[in-house]
Structure 1
Amino acid sequence: MSVDLAHTLLLELAQQQAPVSVPRLGKRFGQGASSIMRTLTLLGDATLGTQAGPGWVRLELQDERWMASLTEAGRAHVAQFEHG
């Protein structure tokens, strides 16, 4: 996972009030939807092997589109690195 992309996505989602489509995020940042989805999945609560993600991002399928938003834990995390 690109740390820069993860950081950028977290900051972008923190600015949004409503969930954002994964393809829209990909277009905004010049990345394929699959790269965005992989990064967001790692920032969510999915377990890969024995390692659970931090739970900062929620991915939901709405009307056949993947939508991303920050969880409360994600908003708290972003607030920490924005202020210090």
Structure 2
Amino acid sequence: MKKSFDQHYKVLDRGKLNVIVKSQACALIAKKAISGAKKNAEFHLRSILGNQNHRTKFKEVNRYNNRGKICVEMAAAALPPL
């Protein structure tokens, strides 16, 4: 039950915490694909923001099948801390 991650991702950076990252992951089980896509998007978001304090809002952008696996594209948006 191996997950596969796409190393390519898209970034919309408008400065400060106004950043949105889109990333994807594929797995045989939808739950694992969603989890992998969230982790991947959070990793890329953190690599852009560094140690800035923020919270993250996730939104599933797309879901499709590719070679027998379920692939999920996830958007992660940085929000100010509460």
The structure with the largest strand share of the pair is: 2
Please say which structure displays the higher CA radius of gyration. 2
The structure in which a higher percent of residues are helix is 1
TM-score of the superposition, structure 1-length normalised? 0.31
Higher relative contact order (CA 8 A, sep 6+): 2
